[in-house]
Amino acid sequence: MSEQNPLNTTEGEAQLLQDLLSAERAGAKVAGESLQQCNDPAQQKLLEQIRQGEVDSCRLVLNCLNHLNIAPNRETGAFYGKAMAIESLDERMTFVDRGQQWVIRKLREYLPGCNDDFIRTELEKMLKIHEINSQAA
């Protein structure tokens, strides 16, 4: 029998969901504030798409936490400060895409061992959002 992925333990799953929530909150804030600084219509459209994807992902993660009766954290991930410290919008967008890639990697690592149909469905939607937004970037 193969060793269980630490993400697929009760503690690992709870920690992953909290980490994802903080990261999505940070991503939504970064996209929203970057939108205020952006004059390029194509980049504005992409930022709005990313912002909406992060907001939708927050909701999906909250649904999962609620399903498990876990109180959501109120944190904004460190990603926010790191991203906003990048002055060039183009370079920040590259950094934002690395954040999207991190979420994709974490979800792909977690989902194969997920035995809860509700959580699997919610996080598969979230994975799809991030794959679409990463390809768009």
Note the pLDDT of residue 4.
73
Please report whether residue 128 resides in a domain.
Answer: yes
Please report whether residue 2 resides in a domain.
Answer: no
CA–CA–CA angle 76, 119, 80 (5° rounding)? 15
pLDDT digits (tens, 9 = 90+) for 121-131: 999 999 999 99
- What CATH number is attached to the domain comprising 108? 1.20.1260.10
Q: How many domains does the chain have?
A: 1
Counting as low any pLDDT under 70, the low residues of the chain are: 1-3
- pTM summary value: 0.93
Note the pLDDT of residue 3.
63
